[in-house]
Amino acid sequence: MADTTGETPVQARCIGDTAIIYASDYLNKLSGERIERECKRQLESGCRALVINFRDTELVNSIGVSILMGVIDAAEQNTAQLIFSDVNSHTAKLFEMLGLTRLVSVAKDENEALALVAPQTNVAGSTS
């Protein structure tokens, strides 16, 4: 059966081998599954790091959290780094209370998230 919901696809972009995935305003079953599919697609295409940007996310329900656990598992299985960025204070407290912050890095914004990835992808300044 074709998808007739009219929902917009998940926005994503790549910087090197890092994929940035943008979460919607409400992370529930439908939007969470789209994010999970996009994250898995990016991992299958060779991305070594994922940044999920929550800048537009106002609410995350229990199913959304459960789906994020699946994304965490997929990243671990692919030995990929996973970073959450731009998480509002309410969602950050939820993630902390549920223990997600012990499993992923949390960055204040996308630039900080990319800086956390930089040591493994940008070795131009290092000397060996």
Q: pLDDT digits over 58-82, tens only?
A: 999 999 999 999 999 999 999 999 9
**Is the pLDDT reported for residue 93 higher than 80?**
yes
Model confidence pTM above 0.85: yes
Rg (alpha carbons) of the chain, rounded to whole number: 15
pLDDT above 80 (res 126): no
Class of the domain covering 11-116:
alpha beta
d(CA 113, CA 100): 16
Domain coordinates in residue numbering, the chain: 11-116
Burial class (CB in 10 A: 0-12, 13-18, 19+), 45: exposed
For residue 66, give both structure tokens.
């459960």
93 phi and psi angles, rounded to 5 deg: -65, -40
Per-residue pLDDT tens for 10-21?
999 999 999 999
pLDDT reported for residue 9? 83
Query: What CA–CA distance (Å, rounded) separates 95 from 19?
Result: 21
